[in-house]
């Protein structure tokens, strides 16, 4: 059955690949980009099934207007993919105030604005699916990516909550958590101005490691195939979809460590409550 997708960040990376695959299989796509001139090659090949709307994720009114236009122009939208975003490399201390505001406005507030704008439309039309592209960095953290992680951990908490709010209306959510993949993400990293104090520290070591080539196993083609299968599947969506062996191993290790630390603190946690006897006297 033909589906209609709304995909942000459609001009490159996973967003473009996902849009192209959806079009090839006969679906319709509304792509959101900073310019309505995005994807000229795909627009020429699929003039009846691809529409581009201009959207500035740092401007919430622009996000709302673009989403409203997308839904107004479509008989229905089945799947919303919140994909746009970027990374910022550098220690938190090194980041400028504008850099901090820009990445939070784009990755976190922009994604929140997109979901808030889409939910009323999906609710009025009886439901739909929202795939929020997060990252392995939404569950684990590396030095020198603190602000990127802040946006990904933030959007994961938001989606966990809003998914419960929207479930009665037939709206489902999945957080998609890719590991490193052969996209343009690394080449498009914003960077802080390095401070000499961080040379040789974990943040400096990460920065140095990124100057050296290493084997990236993540295949964007396989990742987008998994996302399409997810959108097509019958039954409830998973809360999270982890993509990539490195992401799986890293997240599993991090979750195991948190459980171990939580269990070590059980007695302290329980002792912080009133006892039953004390509650009876209150």
124 is catalytic: no
Cα–Cα distances in Å, from 61 out to 54, 64, 68, 112?
Answer: 12, 5, 11, 12
Beta-bridge mates of residue 4: 28
61 is catalytic: no
Q: Is the dihedral of CA 9, 106, 156, 89 positive or negative?
A: positive
Helix (H) or strand (E) holding 155: helix 146-166
Q: Which two tokens stand for residue 128?
A: 């739909």
* Catalytic residue from among 33, 82, 135, 148: 148
* Catalytic residue from among 11, 33, 74, 135: 11
* Catalytic residue from among 74, 134, 135, 198: 134
The Cα 70–Cα 5 span in angstroms is 10
152 is catalytic: yes
82 is catalytic: no
In degrees and rounded to multiples of 5, residue 254 shows phi and psi of -65, -45
Positions annotated as catalytic residues are 11, 134, 148, 152
């Amino acid at each position: 059955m033909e589906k209609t997708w709304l995909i942000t960040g459609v001009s490159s990376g996973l967003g473009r690949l996902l849009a192209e695959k959806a079009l090839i299989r006969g679906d319709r796509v509304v792509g959101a980009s900073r310019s309505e001139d995005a994807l000229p090659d795909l627009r020429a090949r699929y003039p009846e099934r691809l529409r581009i709307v201009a959207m500035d994720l740092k401007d919430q009114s622009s996000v709302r207007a673009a989403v409203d236009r997308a839904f107004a122009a479509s008989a229905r939208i089945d799947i919303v993919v919140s994909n746009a975003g970027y990374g910022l490399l550098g220690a938190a201390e090194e980041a400028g105030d504008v850099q901090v505001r820009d990445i939070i406005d784009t990755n976190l507030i922009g994604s929140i604005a997109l979901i808030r704008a889409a939910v009323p439309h999906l609710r009025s039309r009886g439901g739909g699916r929202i795939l929020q592209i997060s990252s392995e960095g939404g569950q684990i953290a590396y030095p020198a990516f603190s602000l990127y992680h802040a946006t990904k951990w933030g959007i994961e908490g938001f989606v966990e909550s809003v998914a419960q709010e929207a479930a009665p209306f037939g709206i489902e959510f999945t957080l998609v958590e890719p590991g490193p993949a052969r996209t343009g993400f690394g080449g498009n990293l914003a960077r802080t101005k390095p401070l000499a104090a961080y040379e040789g520290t974990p943040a400096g070591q990460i920065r140095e490691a990124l100057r050296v080539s290493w084997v990236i196993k993540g295949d964007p083609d396989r990742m987008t195939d998994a996302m399409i299968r997810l959108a097509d599947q019958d039954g409830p969506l998973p809360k999270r979809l982890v993509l990539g062996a490195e992401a799986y191993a890293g997240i599993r290790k991090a979750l195991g460590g948190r459980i171990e630390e939580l269990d070590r603190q059980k007695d302290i946690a329980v002792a912080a409550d009133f006892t039953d006897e004390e509650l009876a006297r209150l």
